[in-house]
């Protein structure tokens, strides 16, 4: 298969496996999604989903969040890790959203990335999942699979994102980035990988990856 055929095979396979795509992080609106994504940095979605109900019971909007102290926020979110940075970020971005954006999460990459503790990946998730703007947030699963499938060189997530956007149709970005995440978790993990179950990589994978696993 040439690269275009491989891309088409990936899209078709993922659509068959995940015709309806669950959102990994529980949320009810753009603000709670933004907070959940921020908390997910270097943590797991499962852990974040156990902590956000506790935090949102205290404050699920920027107005209530700034009524808490940074220390109060930190006490709740400690289990997800990096709580000193994340608690300051949550308080700081809530304050800015109130002061500069009338209490609403901004709907542009530039404004989101200007918020404390919000990087490009977090902004991309919010733009895609909250506002439906085409984006391709790259997490560790997407970075790993794009390399294993021979679609990117694996050097860094910036390059992986560029390659994904170049290869996949823009109208499919928002579905595909989630489908690839779920596929990576279920069939192509970093550890305990059973390539026999990983039908996509087994069919189109990078030769060096397949050879390493006896194919």
Separation CA 95–CA 89 (nearest Å) = 10
Specify whether 60 is catalytic. Answer: no
Specify whether 6 is catalytic. Answer: no
Q: How many residues does the chain have?
A: 215
DSSP label of 170:
G
State the CB neighbour count (10 A cutoff) for residue 4.
9
State the CB neighbour count (10 A cutoff) for residue 91.
23
Catalytic: which of 121, 163, 197, 198?
121
**Dihedral in degrees, nearest 10, Cα atoms 93, 33, 107, 181:** 120
CA quadruple 178, 182, 183, 188: dihedral positive or negative? positive
Separation CA 93–CA 97 (nearest Å) = 6
Catalytic: which of 45, 60, 139, 163?
139
Q: What residues are labeled active site?
A: 121, 139
């Amino acid at each position: 298969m040439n690269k275009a055929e491989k891309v088409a095979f990936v899209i078709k396979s993922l659509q068959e496996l995940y015709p309806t795509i669950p959102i990994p992080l529980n949320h009810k609106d753009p603000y709670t999604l933004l907070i959940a994504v921020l908390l997910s940095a270097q943590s797991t979605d499962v852990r974040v989903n156990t902590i956000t109900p506790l935090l949102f019971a205290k404050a699920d909007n920027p107005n209530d969040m700034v009524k808490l102290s940074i220390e109060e926020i930190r006490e709740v979110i400690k289990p997800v890790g990096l709580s000193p940075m994340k608690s300051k970020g949550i308080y700081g971005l809530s304050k800015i959203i109130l002061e500069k954006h009338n209490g609403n999460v901004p709907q542009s990459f530039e404004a989101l990335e200007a918020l404390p503790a919000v990087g490009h990946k977090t902004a991309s998730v919010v733009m895609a999942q909250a506002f439906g703007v085409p984006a391709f947030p790259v997490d560790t699963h997407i970075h790993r699979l794009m390399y294993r499938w021979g679609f990117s060189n694996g050097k860094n997530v910036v390059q992986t994102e560029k390659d994904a956007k170049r290869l996949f149709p823009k109208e499919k970005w928002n579905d595909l980035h989630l489908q690839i995440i779920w596929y990576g978790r279920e069939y192509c993990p970093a550890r305990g990988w059973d390539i026999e179950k990983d039908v996509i990589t087994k069919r189109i994978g990078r030769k060096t990856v397949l050879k390493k696993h006896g194919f």
